[in-house]
Structure 1
């Protein structure tokens, strides 16, 4: 790169969770996942809508883009091909050696072609490929706002890496040095996804369902199996191919072995009823995941010496594991960015190009920012396709009105401000309900979200009163941490406590989200409890509603009582 780029487009595309981010002169203009605009959950399509919105927001055209940062580096895939041939030495893995080598080579070529396609779309821009875990690291560290921390990234696969420990410093720009890494086929994300699939849910989407199911099971039944299948080592962990055969980047290669099936249970079809064995298998998987994550966190503390930890990658979405790290008092504070999965690497990739360019301008707009997508403050609502719906513009204090409706038992969708980054609704695209209403969890699961009855709902709480109900001991602004609860919570708000005795809470400050902070205060004045149930504005199988049309459709096709959409009250 022979010049310092002023307009950098960061992309996650062509795999899953497509997203785009835009940096202009080092400042983050915005970030949005394509699914929030296309209505296709986990879409792998080129994020055209996201890019168009970002450029329009900045008043730019595609020809103004100086650099495009892509979140994978093709050569790293290619390096795995010769290594994969080493699997031929063992009888256990011999049949995977050649297809694994071929699969990684094929993905390397495919990724290179994607870079070339980006070059054709942006002929005036430099196209950069960023190592996947570096993009994760920069996303997490830049979002933390800290000057120094350890950075732990755990996912399924980033080219060859599955786990990295890095030490990050912020001078004029972020400096991140990877000090230890674990390569595939040792992958915690791979194992969790394999068991998710084995239990009948979609890998890469419904791992959270398995985490919820785990609370109902007894891990003792399969504890020793997972200790053998995922043993810890002095520098991390390994995966036994007798239980989880090495990954092949092609369809038709099961992720669990015949031995795993024989020692656990047959694969479950989604239509089949859940049995105790499924709950116990989920419980043992979750327990082992927590143990390995704690082990990795202690390793990060030891080799970096840092008192702060950032966690990124898909496994960072396992909020119970992150909560265990916090409770372990290994670090003074643990931080997970709002978009720790692959979508968020669009931000990290852009930050990497900005950093590598030698620009002296610090990255701005990333630290502690989560409301980064489009907003629709003045868009007219067309209710013609929904004759049963009606709207009125609220002329009273909106926060007080909403709190009153919630206190009287209504379940309300909220659509306000900019779309959240990441998979958690944080008050701008949320469904809210009172945790004090009898049967509210059952109603939300059965009539609003249409999902499994064992899945819990998360609380949002005034940050200044969180310790009255939750034992976490630090802020949790992005609903990324599972916390223990107090006797006060058990007495007053059991609806937000999962079977494992934890809650995945969101703490809300007046600076983070002034409107939701005022709603919580108003609700507390009416009920004495500064806590609301907060779940995402969508139904099962659909993405969080990113546009007014999506929100109206959600109201019309679910059991929501009302929708508060930018100061307008929409009801049946």
Structure 2
């Protein structure tokens, strides 16, 4: 049986396909359109998923859509009436046919435009899935746990913004829902836009900037904005916000009076901005710890599953595994809306059809792959100089040890926002200048943003204060004081690192690269960041990789068994 899962019409559209209850392919639409966070209907992602299994839309049994636009209409109408006429902007936003609720209501019709659609053959059932239930299924039913507490949090689903639940077997039981306008996702997005960054896109920049703050001056103010109340709930003082009215900016005059003038896009980042980021980040962490501790109290579970855009906050996740009584944690690698497509599909498979769980998502490699022959033919067509090597891992490790910055393109593309050794930019973490080199000359992004350490899983305890596996780069640990000078370019300003643990069974090629780098240098760590530049999606195709290689400060491109190297004249001066 084929089940197609879809996210569309908000941001980060995506598609996935299950065959007999197992995930076979998944990808974000942005990788095909090259529009970052593309929220349109995912024709490219759907076509890829169906092509991967040699099927057409006519072969699909179920289509699951990860939001139910009809749900909670009474809550929405009550909200609009309560704040009318200030909610006129909200009405216009929700009524936008190109990306809002009306498109969702007729989502089934978009499938008719897919290649090969035949109304006489297509017999799929179409299922709207409650958004936070999709998030819950996205992290629990594909986790390694038979039972777990579940916490999902984002900007808004239909009207729910936070869900506390428990999963057992095929079933998920809700304990508590928090509704719009109270929203941790909207809280953090407001902070993001106040600091001059893009909403639903740049929240991770705030997380990185927060580490530069040093005081609790604004943290104490944020306690007034976001209040923790008994039984794992939170409330927000909405006088600090405008988003509940659909207004831009999301923050009110009271917010500005409390935290100072907002930062304009492109303006220099000041110490005050870092302090505000620190205060907001800490308060978000407080709220997540508050809810997680409540969940542990009422479930007694050893396991915690996280999902929703807020679950991509690696700093908070690191505190959850360290500071709560949960022994194990699972964060789906595409925890944002793209991954809800997976949850919607598994809701049909496990929830509606009642099939037993027999799949664990233990890697992110669900995107397109290009054969040796395809890549060689493309490089010849492009008429670029290249050489073929027997061992790309050893070749890449040697280049890194010699101070080169390389593009690494191997196998199936990752699903989710993190590059985990398939579409990565790699560099030597020992060089204290390398962080600035990659930020300025390769990624063309803000200097305060950190890079992640990819480390051999068995060596984590030698470099970090915590050794819990972090295969999806979604946990932040402290770098041991004696190792901070050893790997300075992946040690953030506060002494932390966003850890990516690598095991040989999951990715032998990337593991061997790091192991060879250790043999050459004595350090089992490489600097890893996504293979893209600022404001562009991660590369998907060999063409994308070649374009990025020649338009940035990358020194070499290792793609399959082929190596492209710039001449000394082509390389940018360090």
TM-score, normalised to structure 1's length?
A: 0.93
Counterpart among 181, 185, 203 of residue 181 in structure 2: 185
Structure 1: segments with no counterpart, 5+ residues:
1-5, 89-93
State the alpha-carbon separation in 1 of the partners of residues 310 and 370 from structure 2.
32
Match of 2:104 in 1: 111
Counterpart among 218, 242, 249 of residue 245 in structure 1: 242
Match of 1:3 in 2: none
> Aligned in 2, Cα 1:80/1:363: closer, same or farther, shift over 3 Å?
farther
How does 1:97-496 map onto structure 2 within 5 Å?
100=90, 107-118=100-111, 123-170=122-169, 174-234=170-230, 235-248=232-245, 250=246, 252-360=247-355, 362-364=357-359, 366-378=360-372, 379=374, 380-383=376-379, 389-395=384-390, 397-496=391-490
Checking the alignment, whether the CA contact within 8 Å between 1:81 and 1:104 is kept in structure 2 is no
> Aligned in 2, Cα 1:86/1:48: closer, same or farther, shift over 3 Å?
closer
Q: Cα distance, 1:85 vs. partner?
A: 4.9
Q: Quick check: 1:96 aligned with 2:86?
A: yes
Range that drifts further, 512-521 or 212-221:
212-221
Checking the alignment, whether the CA contact within 8 Å between 1:420 and 1:426 is kept in structure 2 is yes
Match of 1:500 in 2: 494
> Aligned in 2, Cα 1:537/1:144: closer, same or farther, shift over 3 Å?
same
Match of 1:531 in 2: 525
Match of 2:570 in 1: none
Q: Cα distance, 1:113 vs. partner?
A: 2.4
State the alpha-carbon separation in 2 of the partners of residues 99 and 421 from structure 1.
34
1:76 is paired with a residue whose SS is coil
Q: Cα distance, 1:228 vs. partner?
A: 0.6
Range that drifts further, 212-221 or 531-540:
212-221
1:231 is paired with a residue whose SS is strand
Deviations 1:384-407 (A, max 9, x none): 8977x4211113x22222211111
Q: Cα distance, 1:488 vs. partner?
A: 3.5
State the alpha-carbon separation in 2 of the partners of residues 102 and 407 from structure 1.
55
Checking the alignment, whether the CA contact within 8 Å between 2:243 and 2:251 is kept in structure 1 is no
State the alpha-carbon separation in 1 of the partners of residues 81 and 214 from structure 2.
38
Deviations 1:35-93 (A, max 9, x none): 122211101122112111211111111211111100110112513223315744xxxxx
State the alpha-carbon separation in 2 of the partners of residues 138 and 321 from structure 1.
21
State the alpha-carbon separation in 2 of the partners of residues 306 and 264 from structure 1.
39
How does 1:12-31 map onto structure 2 within 5 Å?
12-31=7-26
Structure 2: segments with no counterpart, 5+ residues:
567-574
Checking the alignment, whether the CA contact within 8 Å between 1:25 and 1:361 is kept in structure 2 is no
> Aligned in 2, Cα 1:204/1:97: closer, same or farther, shift over 3 Å?
closer
State the aligned residue count. Answer: 554
State the alpha-carbon separation in 2 of the partners of residues 143 and 526 from structure 1.
38
Deviations 1:355-409 (A, max 9, x none): 2342535443x4213111110023135458977x4211113x2222221111111
Checking the alignment, whether the CA contact within 8 Å between 2:76 and 2:159 is kept in structure 1 is no
Checking the alignment, whether the CA contact within 8 Å between 1:69 and 1:129 is kept in structure 2 is yes
State the alpha-carbon separation in 2 of the partners of residues 146 and 443 from structure 1.
42
